[in-house]
Structure 1
């Protein structure tokens, strides 16, 4: 059987004018807990001759933050502060465990931090993983349908930014929230996107019915020739769910009990905030790193046993990359063991595009769908977010008008309009946990779209003008900029 593991790495643009904001700490924690360990594991497996390539999607906003000099310097400070705090407030094996993790993160960052996107690109060129990308600012594409050229701009700009940051021309793209409908399917074809990932029910309820593939969802070819690879929901939830899946086991590290919630003096982090240092198990006891690692190996073996029993010809599991290491502390231990052992169990780990090219898939129109609650767009398009989308569409109109009028602020307005389209803001507003931050960011971006404040970053102005300021967003396939790795393909 074949197994495809797709990880999607994304955070919204969270750079702030001052350091130590909660939102910038999202980036810093994900860097040392998830992204740097990903690079470490893939490099280690490759150096040992383990051929089990995952597919990793890197969003353009994430790549832009990795490449930002100010944020890199702040990450250096963040690592130093966490390491000092760990020595002060932790003890015993837990302190030793975090010391090792932070030293390894520091070493990887020292080797690759300035060119982290290019480091992943080099692993792609060596065949150790498959690197793909997503839309420019993680825009929820079906919600942009009233401005169809915005869909093309999100896709085309995202691909071009990714190429510039990594040196890789992706043949597949990740759809934010796995959101697909007929308009998005046509846009993928216009942009020559060959493969994407969809939710399982996009295939289950496709028309005509594509049938099942060994009990699992069947990949399909859309009416305009894009291969739609459905996520296997049951296999994914075995790993993803903190209640019924592996991460809920009592001996794993508990995510929500952080020393920042319990200590008066946690340095620059501030009381009541996450520091990344969490010394407890899910069942409430003191965390035992050796027991957590052993359990991760056991659970990886259990998943391989389950896959072999079901004997489906193809299983695709797709996750947010931040699950591994950040949310589920032992996640990269689990995944590395799974990749090491897969071949000996008769499980062939292949990339997304390799799996897509190995079958003669039926032609069908995927059902409009997303992943997440309800399997539709209710999380992002509902009563709590209806007004948000009026702001999004209005900002896009202002950006297009600014280019037509030759405004000096056109690039700034366009960046604001693009950042407003991110699916993160309605997600946070709907979830309410970080709704205040999301509403404040939206207000800032609306002010920038109105010309009341400037947005000088992210994204290079030439590409912003290319995809927002011209009619090119409706003329495809695109011709990447001079020097692009796709220019000759």
Structure 2
């Protein structure tokens, strides 16, 4: 079959730093659920396809702050315990939930086996093996996923370098592509990307006015931006019409409270939880096959239209949070596998972002506007009036960080700890969660906790009270990024 064009699937894996910062409902539990229901099955699916000799399946972004959690001994022990607890909950629910509990027991047992076989030494060996096999391209990014347009350029460059260096340490390769946090962009940021060795980054489709059929050089640079095709992406994940809301899929919001399991299918959008029909894995599998076929048809039609318009084969990029697949959408990993198998059979070339660029799918230079992938496709989620206090807090954190760093050739571990806490305070997650009213109290508390540590430690360092500063950090958790060298930020 003649190839109609090129499709790139991009998955963005990210959670803020969660170990030692609460357990339920948005602390460590959040990490362990995503790990069990998304990271384990998605990487297992990719390994199956790689073992068949399939290459360039997708582009996988794993933020440095998530990669650090997937390698953290405390978190590894925590998720292992969580997986065991999941199996026990399924076992205990058998008298009430019958076959559903048995299905859940089999799923949890498979997850335990996957973890104990592949993950006991952390996530980096898993990711590295997928990249080394050629199955995926790994994307990097700034260390703690900050909203770049609002950062002091020095702090922005420091966080990006820390993240790229961290990826090189964990996977053996420094990424050439990044998922810019929240797809946040301000004119001129491509200069910093070029200086860091970044060759390509993601933007949302509206930043390119919807013209996402080719990668585009940004301004006068040779750094490429690649746009997310919303017409294709929203076929999967749209608030009212995406596949996960289909009647036969497992309902995310309905719980069997004694066990914590989810026993119902969606049934209907306006059906009360107590009236929802029981989950049926067979019906869900049929829905996966139906919706995978629909998506393949959508992609092929999109690429045929691009080819007719350009007079040459073009590109469509669908990009999602990895956590959609498995955690939010129980059947998501199975749907991904079905799509990745079916697209080549439909005459669609599947490759990575690097593969698309290598194939010459590059257009004319473009001047990008201020943009993001958030509400309104502007900066309102991270810079709006509802988070004005967080914006002001972040400004103070950066000022205190920069002021406390003294020039010199001797590395000061206390300055490195200061930088570590500052980067955690600057995570974009806190403003996002507040703007979306999703665990806003937790988000504000986390931002203020890290900012307070920065204020206290920077004051002691400025006063030359190193003994007191050392005593202060003794009570903190271990640093997230032990390789940070704050000297690069010092005047």
TM-score tier (shorter): 0.7 to 0.9
Q: Which whole-Å deviations, capped at 9, do the CAs of 1:12-52 have from their partners, x for residues lacking one? A: 00112665664101100000100011110011011123345
The 5 Å alignment of 1:28-427 reads 28-51=32-55, 53-90=57-94, 91-113=97-119, 114-144=121-151, 147-204=152-209, 212=211, 216-223=212-219, 224-259=221-256, 262-263=257-258, 266=259, 275=260, 277-283=261-267, 284-310=276-302, 311=304, 312=306, 313-357=314-358, 358-404=360-406, 409-427=414-432
* Aligned counterparts, 1:438-457, within 5 A: 438-451=443-456, 454=473, 455-457=476-478
- For structure 2, the residue ranges without an aligned partner over 5 or more in a row are 268-275, 307-313, 458-471
Could you tell me whether the CA contact under 8 Å between 1:52 and 1:340 is conserved in 2?
no
Q: How many correspondences in the alignment? A: 446
Distance of 2:263 and 2:440 partners within structure 1: 28
Deviation at 1:464, TM superposition (A): 3.7
> 1:467/1:159 Cα in 2 relative to 1: closer, same or farther (>3 Å)?
farther
**Contact 1:57-1:133 within 8 A present in 2 as well:** yes
Secondary structure, aligned partner of 2:9: strand
1:197 match: secondary structure: strand
CA contact (8 A) 1:42 1:128 kept: yes
Structure 1 residues 185 and 457, CA gap change in structure 2 (3 angstroms): farther
Segment drifting more, 125-134 vs 12-21:
12-21
Supply the distance in 2 between the matched residues of 1:88 and 1:414 (Cα, whole angstroms): 46
Rounded to whole Å, the distance in 1 between the matches of 2:424 and 2:21 is 17
TM-score of the two chains, using structure 1 as the length reference: 0.87
Distance across 2 between alignment mates of 1:63 and 1:467: 23
Task: Tell me how far apart the structure 1 counterparts of residues 387 and 315 of structure 2 sit (CA, whole Å).
Answer: 37
SS class of match (1:4): strand
1:183 is displaced (CA, Å) by 3.1
Q: Which moved more, 1:58-67 or 1:393-402?
A: 393-402
Q: Return the offset for 1:402.
A: 2.6
What secondary structure is seen at the aligned counterpart in 2 of 1:385? helix
Conservation of the 8 A alpha-carbon contact between 2:207 and 2:369: yes
Distance in 2 (CA, whole Å) between partners of 1:439 and 1:360 is 42
Is the contact made by 1:3 and 1:349 (CA closer than 8 Å) also made in structure 2?
Answer: yes
* Cα separation, 2, equivalents of 1:17 and 1:199: 32
> Does structure 2 conserve the Cα–Cα contact (< 8 Å) formed by 1:409 and 1:451?
no
CA RMSD of aligned residues (A): 1.9
- Alpha-carbon contact 1:412-1:449 (below 8 Å) kept: no
Q: Distance in 2 between matches of 1:6 and 1:467?
A: 32
Residue 13 of structure 1, aligned match among 11, 17, 24 = 17
Q: In 2, Cα distance between the equivalents of 1:446 and 1:385?
A: 15
CA distance in 2, matches of 1:433, 1:149: 31
Cα distance in 2, alignment partners of residues 104 and 149 from structure 1: 46
Deviations 1:201-224 (A, max 9, x none): 11128xxxxxx4xxx544310121
Deviation, structure 1 residue 398: 1.9
Q: 1:303 to 1:18 in 2, by over 3 A?
A: closer
Contact 1:10 1:58 in 2 (8 A): yes
Q: Assess if the C-alpha contact under 8 Å between 1:398 and 1:413 holds in 2.
A: no
Normalising by structure 2, report the TM-score. 0.87
In structure 2, C-alpha distance between the alignment counterparts of 1:441 and 1:203, rounded to whole Å: 34
> Residues 275-320 of structure 1, C-alpha deviation per residue, up to 9 Å, x if partnerless?
4x21111112100112112211110111111222231321100100
CA–CA separation in structure 1 for the residues paired with 2:171 and 2:215: 28
Could you tell which deviates more after superposition, 363-372 or 12-21? 12-21
